[in-house]
Amino acid sequence: MKTILLVNDEQSTRFLYKKELEEDSYQVSVAATGEEALKMLDKQIPDLIILDIKIPGMDGIEVMSKIKDEKRDIPIILCSAYGQYKQGFRIWASDAYVVKSADLRELRLTIKEIFNQQKTG
Task: Give yes or no for residue 49 having a pLDDT over 80.
Answer: yes
Q: How far apart are the first and last CA of the chain?
A: 19
Q: Does domain 3-120 have CATH number 2.60.40.10?
A: no
Model confidence, pTM: 0.89
pLDDT for res 90: 53
- Given a cut of 70, is residue 121 above it in pLDDT? no
pLDDT > 70 fraction of the chain, expressed in percent and rounded: 88
**Which residue pairs, CB below 8 angstroms and at least 24 apart, start in 96-100?**
100/13, 100/52
Which H/E stretch holds residue 6? strand 3-7
Closest by alpha carbon to 23, among 113, 114, 107, 117?
107
Give the mean model confidence (pLDDT) for residues 95-100: 82
pLDDT confidence tier of residue 70, bands split at 50, 70 and 90: confident
